[in-house]
Amino acid sequence: MSATTFPGRSAAARPSTRSRLQATFNKRALLWLAIGLFLFLYIPILILIIYSFNDSSQIGLWAGFSLRWYGELFRNQAVLDALKLSLWVALWSTLISTFLGTLTALALERHNFWGKITYDAILYLPVIIPDIVMALSTLLFFVVLGVALSKYTILIAHVAFNISFVAIVVRARLADMNSTLEEAAADLGANEWQSFRRVTLPLLMPGIISGALLAFTLSLDDFVITFFVAGPGSTTLPVRVYSMIRFGLTPEVNAVSTLMFLGSTLLVIISLVLQRR
């Protein structure tokens, strides 16, 4: 390489004025499109957040800034109970589905067995098929088996769809991981369990944690499936919000939605950061 080549100095590499204009224009257009899309997606949420701080009890009327509705929220026992159940379901479904999903990913990525391709395809189904179909089929499943609906049926349903998400995230990480590392561990005298504990698991951890966070978020946010399989009295936060809306939009609903939005966003960001690493 010669020291006198500067970027853009070579005549051949210099774009014509016209194509440069074209490129600038394209870049501008793309930027505006991105901004437009962003606004389209987030203006409704922004309005929701702003109005959660509205002092007025009427939705459309701005009466000054206040944390009044957040206060009300934390005095509302029904909302607190719903939050508690949501967290209970999210925590347990995350733990169980992370464990099973990780095992599934390991089986699919590192082992060969009969029916693997079919199993692989089926794994993606919960991600693809509409929630309503999942909800109906899960409900039907419980009805056919004669299982009484309760908070446990919610948990089972959440575990069922979360396994797929966890397995997909963990598997992506596993596929990136060189399997010769496991051979190297075996070569140095590690049996399968030692090799998993000392090499595979530590390297897989960011993937497992990000899968778990995703599962936690999905469980917290789920409405459709929960709505169908919840037993009487088992109300999660999204279901509670839905029933609150039926009595009219109140700033309290805005407040609880704002909190849910912030919570989920935080989890998703952590999950994305971990996947990058």
Partner 1 sequence: MSISVKLDHVKKQFGDFTAVHDLELEIADGEFFSMLGPSGCGKTTTLRMIAGFEQPTSGELYIMGQPVAGIPAYRRPVNTVFQNYALFPHMTVAQNVAFGLEMAKVPKPEIEKRVKDALALVQMSPMSERKPSQLSGGQQQRVALARALVNRPKVLLLDEPLGALDLKLRKAMQLELKQIQSDVGITFIYVTHDQEEAMTMSNRIAVMSNGYVQQIGSPREIYEHPQNRFVADFIGETNFLEGKVEEVNGVVKLAVGNSHVIGRSDQELSLGQKAYLAIRPEKINMYPPGKVTVRDIELDAEQIADVFGGRVPSGPFDIKQVLKQEHESMYVNGNVAEAIYIGTDTRYRVTILGDQQLFVRTQNFGDRYDTTFEVGDEVLLHWPAENARILTE
- Cα(89)–Cα(231) distance, rounded to whole angstroms? 13
* Nearer Cβ to partner 1 (1/145): 1
Q: What is the nearest approach in angstroms of partner 1 to the Cβ of residue 202?
A: 5
- Helix (H) or strand (E) run with residue 71 in it: helix 68-75
* Nearer Cβ to partner 1 (100/186): 186
- Residues 200-239 contacting partner 1, CB under 8 A: 202-203
- Cα(66)–Cα(50) distance, rounded to whole angstroms? 10
Among 139, 166, 199, 208, binds partner 1 (CB under 8 A): 199
Judging by beta carbons within 10 Å of its beta carbon (0-12, 13-18, 19+), is residue 268 exposed, middle or buried?
Answer: middle
Q: What is the nearest approach in angstroms of partner 1 to the Cβ of residue 44?
A: 43
Maximum Cα interatomic distance, the chain, rounded to a whole number of Å: 80
| Residue at 118: amino acid letter | T
Q: What is the nearest approach in angstroms of partner 1 to the Cβ of residue 102?
A: 17
Asked if residue 204 lies in contact with residue 112, where contact means CB atoms within 8 angstroms, the answer is no
* Nearer Cβ to partner 1 (38/183): 183
- Cα(214)–Cα(216) distance, rounded to whole angstroms? 5
String of contacts with partner 1 for each residue 156-195, x by CB under 8 A:
----------------------x-xx-xxxxxxxxx--xx
* Nearer Cβ to partner 1 (162/210): 210
Among 74, 198, 249, 272, binds partner 1 (CB under 8 A): 198
* Nearer Cβ to partner 1 (181/269): 181
* Nearer Cβ to partner 1 (164/200): 200
| Residue at 168: amino acid letter | I
Q: What is the nearest approach in angstroms of partner 1 to the Cβ of residue 173?
A: 13
* Nearer Cβ to partner 1 (77/112): 112
Judging by beta carbons within 10 Å of its beta carbon (0-12, 13-18, 19+), is residue 81 exposed, middle or buried?
Answer: middle
- CA torsion 49→253→238→171, rounded to 10°? 10
Query: What's 56's DSSP letter?
Result: S
Q: What is the nearest approach in angstroms of partner 1 to the Cβ of residue 213?
A: 21
Residue with tokens 């169908």: 228
Q: What is the nearest approach in angstroms of partner 1 to the Cβ of residue 200?
A: 10
Q: Stretches 55-63, 133-141, 197-205, 261-269: which one binds partner 1 (CB under 8 A)?
A: 197-205
Query: What's 10's DSSP letter?
Result: S
Q: What is the nearest approach in angstroms of partner 1 to the Cβ of residue 11?
A: 34
* Nearer Cβ to partner 1 (68/110): 110
Q: Using alpha carbons, select from 246, 72, 271, 266 the residue that is nearest to residue 166.
A: 271
Size, binding site for partner 1 by CB under 8 A:
18
Q: Using alpha carbons, select from 129, 119, 73 the residue that is nearest to residue 253.
A: 73
Q: What is the nearest approach in angstroms of partner 1 to the Cβ of residue 184?
A: 4
Query: Binding residues for partner 1, per CB under 8 A?
Result: 178, 180-181, 183-191, 194-195, 198-199, 202-203
